[in-house]
Each structure stands twice: as structure tokens, then as C-alpha cells.
Amino acid sequence: MASRKIYLARNVIDVDTTGASDGQALIWDSDQQKWIPGDVAASGAGHIIQDEGIDLPQRSKLNFVGENVFVIDDSINDTTIVTISGISGSGIITQRIFEDLTNQISGSTSHFVLSKAIYGDYLGVYYNGIRQGTSYFTVDGDKTGFTLSFNAVDGDEVFAEYDVIAYSGIGTTLYTNSFLDLVDTPITYSGAANKIVAVNSLESGLIFASGIVLVAKSTTTWTVSSSTSNLDIDLSGYNITIPMSRLMVTARVHERPDGYSGGFPGDIWTVAHSWFYRADNDTSGTKPPERLRITAQRLAGGASGYTVRLEWQIFAFP
């Protein structure tokens, strides 16, 4: 039997070249069970996957996951269509914070409470500046604290590093009306009366700390009657609750007496001393003051009966 030679692909029964155009290739169509003209994806490396403009390790596959992610292969337009449907509340923004827990040490302490719940599984614990291995502490079940496998004592320092939810939700303005809702601030005002806001020792957040605090101030017009005069100031309207033993006063005569025209370059009147007192004459210092007495003395020039302006401030210290 003589052999038969086929010179054109279109003469092969499972090849259909109808409508072929320049640059196309034969691809297998499983529905027709034939090789037909079609386009072939480029042989290059494809898309470069990036995160915020930074190249990620390039893999052969890109896998989209999540119930709200839909992927369609648009072969006609050589396109992969990815649709991510947004749902309010499904987005989470986290922030890593450092927290000083040293003030929780009282005598001998092993359990520490965090100001916010840990998001995720990461917690770094630092004891006297040394980071502890995970075998030296156990995280609470609700992730709001941890327990050391040993006791920290007075004079030690304990810090924690962990992630928190800074914001949860999509499509909502990122702002807060509360100082306590910020991620690097205390979680409560409880126990912080008369304390000041200070940067923690790691310089990574704010804490309430004891320090010198201004609790009252005023400017008083005072008519000085003699070379040494006393001025009693009623403190009932300033709601001072701090005992007298933790208070101090600064005061000065801000202006020269009215009508003085002499050459003395400084203030004519100066504050000699001041103190607090109570109607019950309790001088133990354990109670808040009811009145403030300021004594002023004339240094040079001037005379009695002149009106001066006195500025005074009351500070509390630890």
C-alpha cells in the first residue's frame, strides 16, 4: 500500500485553522476535541507582586483566599479579574506598643496586668532590661496580662512589648474623642488623681506619673498697709484635697506700688514667707489647707498704703 503524505495542517481531521490570525498558535479545545487557533499567555515572569511598592518573593502561584474574594479568569481579554467585596468592620489595624509595668511591683510580684489586650500571639517581656524567653512567663487566657515564673521585687523593672488593635472596621473615619482610646496611653483614669502625663522610660508611650503639679494659682490686688504685711487667702473655692505636707507656694509682687517714681531697679515689695493653716489649728500636715497666708516685706522706697499686684501659685509634690 502506498504511503500518504499530508502537507497542510488544515487537512488533518483534528485541526481547524479557520479564522487564524498572525501571531496565534494552535491550542487544544476539549469541547471540540480539536486544535484551534488561539492566543498563548506571554512566557515572561508575569506580574511582580509587591506590598506597598516593595517587591515580595516571586512565586509561581498567587492564591486568593477569603469568603469575600472572587477570582474570574477572563481568557478572551487575557485578564484575571479579582473582586474583593468590602464589609464594614472586617478590617483591623494593629500597632506594637511598649508598656512600663514597673509600678505594679509591690514587694514581690509575679503577675502583671496589661493596659490593653494582646492582639495575636506575640508578647515580649523585659526584666531589668533583659528580654525573657517564653518559658519564663505565661500569658493569661484573655490576653490581658501574664505571670512570670519568678517574682520581681522592689527595685526591679518590668516592661512588656505587644501588639494591640489600633482600629477595627472599614469605611469609618479613624479618630477618637477620648485620650484613653489611644493605643499609647493609659487605659483608665482610676487611681491617677493629681498625677501628670509623662513619657515612659522607653520613650514609646504616655503614662500617669507622680510629679510636681500645679493645683491652684491666682493674681491678687493687695493694698499693703505697712512695711511688713500679711495677706490671708481663702482656698475653699480651689477644691484642694492634697494634705498641707505635700504642698508648696511660690509668690511674688509683680508690680511696683502705684505712684512710686524712685530709682530702685527691682520690685519694691517681696514675699518674705508663706504658709497654710486651718481653722481647727491642725498643724500635722495630714489635712488639706483652708487658707493661705502670705507675708510681704518692703525692701526699699515706697510707703504703706500702696496697691501692688501679687501672683501666687500652689504646687503639689509626691
Q: Say if residue 198 is in the same domain as residue 237.
A: no
- Of the listed ranges 16-20, 98-102, 203-207, the least confidently predicted one is 16-20
- 275: containing domain: 214-316
Q: Say if residue 245 is in the same domain as residue 312.
A: yes
> Is residue 180 domain-resident?
yes
Cell 527691682, residue located? 266
> Is residue 164 domain-resident?
yes
Q: Say if residue 153 is in the same domain as residue 224.
A: no
Domain stop point among 190, 209, 228? 209
Q: How many residues does the chain have?
A: 318
> Is residue 72 domain-resident?
no
Q: Say if residue 190 is in the same domain as residue 277.
A: no
3-state SS, residue 238:
helix
Q: Say if residue 284 is in the same domain as residue 240.
A: yes
Query: Cα-flanking dihedrals φ and ψ of residue 134, to 5°?
Result: -65, -15
CB of 188 within 8 A of CB of 87?
no
Q: Say if residue 190 is in the same domain as residue 99.
A: yes
N-to-C CA span, the chain: 115
> Is residue 146 domain-resident?
yes
> Is residue 18 domain-resident?
no
Domain stop point among 153, 188, 209? 209
Structurally, the chain folds into a number of domains equal to 2
Domain stop point among 188, 209, 230? 209
Interval 45-96: pLDDT, tens: 566 666 666 777 766 677 776 666 777 777 776 667 777 665 444 456 777 8
> Which residues, 6+ apart, have CB-to-CB distance to 110 below 8 Å?
147, 148, 149, 150, 151, 152
Interval 262-307: pLDDT, tens: 443 344 567 766 788 788 888 788 888 998 888 877 665 555 566 7
Q: Say if residue 241 is in the same domain as residue 288.
A: yes
pTM (predicted TM-score): 0.36
Q: Say if residue 277 is in the same domain as residue 188.
A: no
Compute and round to an integer the Cα radius of gyration of the chain: 39
Distance CA 98, CA 294 (A): 46
Q: Say if residue 284 is in the same domain as residue 192.
A: no
Q: Say if residue 103 is in the same domain as residue 152.
A: yes
Q: What is the pLDDT of residue 262?
A: 46
Return the DSSP state at 293. E
Q: Say if residue 121 is in the same domain as residue 166.
A: yes
Distance CA 93, CA 170 (A): 10
> Is residue 258 domain-resident?
yes
> Is residue 310 domain-resident?
yes
Q: Say if residue 205 is in the same domain as residue 98.
A: yes
> Is residue 8 domain-resident?
no
Distance CA 117, CA 100 (A): 15
